[in-house]
């Protein structure tokens, strides 16, 4: 058989494996390196065999494409030598004319197995390094959480809350936003520890932490402040709303089984953030409010006084809006007067007015409220409000509670702050917001078409 390619002796000396195939892909020539690559001893073992027989099954399409295109750049494919492991090769193809004039395809294969192994090892090392880096990040995050979390309750610790408070104070200063801080303390905790043991005390603190977490909003930041003290930072919340939040927490803890054979209660102080104050000043005010709640009998919420001595420094005010009107001129006028009386008594309290002056303001607010309730009940009867009986019962309950608190003040058992919080928050604000709005549509339907209301009342920062 004639030599299919001139200078075959020269090709035998090439360091790469060289094959010459006919148009059907049958081997016509194999260089010495090619014979060795395929694990053969003699050219006769290869001549006439399709070259695809030696290519990995998954790569056969690659060699067929090279034979068809006759000219193709580097292509990586796997070759299976006889009695050996697969080799990675880099293949190039070129069409040439043999001496007899027939077209042939020259395939040049370079063994790149070592390079491929190095690439695979490099990829494996990279993947391992990335996984190690991810494990390190997870470990660091876990350490950060551990450093920021109280181990007993699972809440944030004081250090973490102080960082959040610094950010919130800066935000309030920059954007004129409101936020409030609630500081809570477990009543008689030392006695509980002494009586039932430290393990019982820990169980109680853990249960209290869970009660606070499930009562706070998702946007709030509850934490264990230290010992038996807890705190909740409530962004976007005025003092009046924060008092309600603190009361909900207090009531939730009172209902909670804290793992000790005794009722567990909380006292709380509330302060709205003042953009002009430092964190230390804020903490001093809320701590003072907590101290007042403790001194006034415990299991209660007290509101911190403002930083200034004048009304312009008051923490909050009830803000009236015409959209709060139900459509009856008498009732709407009385509601506006209740807002004005509520703001007046808060001004007195925040400015440090004598106790008797505040009590007289509260008495005026209570007297106006009783008169208003009577007028409101007549209106509900006149317009045929279906919930009139329940509304009247609610009026009686509110008045009875106000009278009870006033009697406790008289006996020195609670401070005037308790009655102030009740009348301003529960009666003036919450009652109008939560109960009175129910009869607004009935009044609207009985009035002229252009009289109505759009929303319930709210309290806003001054």
pLDDT of residue 249: 95
Smallest Cα–Cα separation from 184: which of 240, 236, 242?
Answer: 242
Provide CATH code, domain 316-461. Answer: 1.20.120.50
H-helix or E-strand containing 179?
A: strand 179-186
Q: Are 99 and 8 in contact (CB under 8 A)?
A: no
Q: What is the 3-state secondary structure (H, E, C) of 187-221?
A: CCHHHHHHHHCHHHHHHHHHHHHHHHHHHCCCCCE
- Report H helices in 149-197: 158-175, 189-196
Higher per-residue confidence, 187 vs 137: 187
CATH number 1.10.238.10 given to 8-111: no
Distance of CA 98 to the CA centre of its chain: 75
Residue 310: pLDDT band by 50, 70, 90 thresholds? Answer: very low
90 is catalytic: no
The Cα 188–Cα 298 span in angstroms is: 9
pLDDT of residue 223: 96
Residue 307: pLDDT band by 50, 70, 90 thresholds? Answer: very low
Residue keyed to tokens 């944030």: 156
- Report H helices in 329-385: 329-350, 355-383
Q: How many residues are recorded in the chain? A: 462
The Cα 204–Cα 201 span in angstroms is: 5
Q: Which residues pair with 301 in a beta bridge?
A: 268
pLDDT of residue 98: 63
pTM strictly above 0.85 = no
Strands 221-226 and 156-157 come out as parallel
Q: Are 300 and 423 in contact (CB under 8 A)?
A: no
H-helix or E-strand containing 302?
A: strand 301-303
- Report H helices in 216-354: 239-255, 279-295, 329-350
Residue 362: pLDDT band by 50, 70, 90 thresholds? Answer: confident
Q: What mean pLDDT comes out for the span 46-59? A: 92
The Cα 47–Cα 199 span in angstroms is: 88
Out of 76, 120, 228, 277, pick the active-site residue.
Answer: 228
Identify the sign of the CA torsion 270, 275, 281, 283: positive
pLDDT in tens, 197-248: 999 999 999 999 999 999 999 889 999 999 999 999 999 888 878 888 999 9
Tokens of 146: 């551990």
Distance of CA 210 to the CA centre of its chain: 17
Q: Is 265 left (phi over 0), alpha (psi -120 to 50) or beta?
A: beta
Q: What is the DSSP string of 6-22?
A: TTHHHHHT-SSEEEEE-
Tokens of 35: 């014979």
Average pLDDT, the chain: 84
Provide CATH code, domain 156-307. Answer: 3.30.70.270
Tokens of 253: 């803890």
Query: How many other CB atoms are there within 10 angstroms of residue 164's CB atom?
Result: 15
Residue 351: pLDDT band by 50, 70, 90 thresholds? Answer: low
The Cα 46–Cα 7 span in angstroms is: 19
The Cα 270–Cα 247 span in angstroms is: 10
């Amino acid at each position: 058989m004639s030599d299919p390619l001139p200078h075959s002796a020269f090709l035998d000396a090439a360091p790469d494996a060289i094959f010459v195939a006919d148009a059907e892909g049958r081997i016509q020539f194999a260089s010495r390196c090619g014979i060795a690559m395929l694990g053969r001893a003699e050219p006769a073992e290869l001549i006439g065999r399709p070259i695809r027989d030696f290519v990995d099954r998954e790569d056969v399409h690659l060699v067929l494409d090279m034979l068809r295109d006759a000219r193709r750049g580097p292509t990586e494919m796997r070759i299976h030598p006889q009695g050996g492991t697969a080799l990675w090769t880099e293949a190039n193809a070129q069409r040439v004319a043999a001496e007899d004039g027939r077209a042939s395809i020259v395939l040049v294969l370079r063994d790149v197995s070592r390079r491929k192994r190095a690439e695979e090892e490099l990829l494996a090392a990279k993947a391992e390094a990335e996984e190690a880096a991810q494990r390190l990040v997870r470990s660091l995050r876990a350490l950060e959480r551990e450093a920021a979390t109280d181990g007993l309750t699972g809440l944030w610790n004081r250090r973490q809350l102080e960082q959040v408070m610094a950010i919130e104070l800066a935000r309030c200063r920059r954007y004129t936003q409101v936020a409030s801080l609630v500081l809570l303390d477990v009543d008689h905790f030392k006695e509980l520890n002494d009586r039932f043991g430290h393990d019982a005390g820990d169980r109680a603190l853990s249960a209290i932490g869970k009660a606070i977490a499930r009562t706070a909003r998702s946007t709030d930041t509850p934490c264990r402040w230290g010992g038996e003290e807890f705190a909740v930072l409530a962004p976007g919340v005025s003092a009046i709303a924060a008092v309600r939040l603190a009361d909900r927490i207090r009531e939730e803890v009172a209902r909670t089984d804290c793992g000790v054979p005794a009722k567990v209660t909380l006292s709380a102080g509330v302060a709205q953030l003042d953009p002009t104050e430092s964190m230390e000043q804020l903490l001093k005010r809320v701590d003072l409010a907590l101290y007042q709640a403790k001194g006034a009998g415990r299991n209660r919420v007290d509101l911190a006084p403002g930083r200034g001595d004048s009304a312009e420094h008051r923490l909050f005010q009830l803000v009236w809006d015409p959209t709060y009107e139900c459509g009856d001129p008498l009732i709407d006028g009385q509601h506006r007067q209740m807002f004005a009386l509520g703001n007046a008594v808060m001004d007195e309290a925040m400015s440090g007015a004598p106790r008797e002056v505040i009590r007289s303001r509260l008495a005026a607010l209570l007297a106006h409220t009783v008169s208003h309730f009577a007028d409101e009940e007549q209106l509900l009867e006149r317009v045929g409000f279906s919930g009139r009986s329940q509304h009247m019962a609610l009026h009686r309950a509110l008045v009875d509670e106000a009278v009870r608190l006033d009697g406790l003040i008289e006996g020195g058992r609670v401070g005037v702050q308790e009655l102030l919080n009740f009348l301003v928050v529960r009666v003036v604000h919450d009652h109008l917001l939560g109960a009175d709005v129910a009869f607004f549509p009935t009044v609207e339907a009985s009035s002229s078409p252009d009289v109505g209301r759009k929303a319930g009342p709210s309290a806003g920062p001054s």
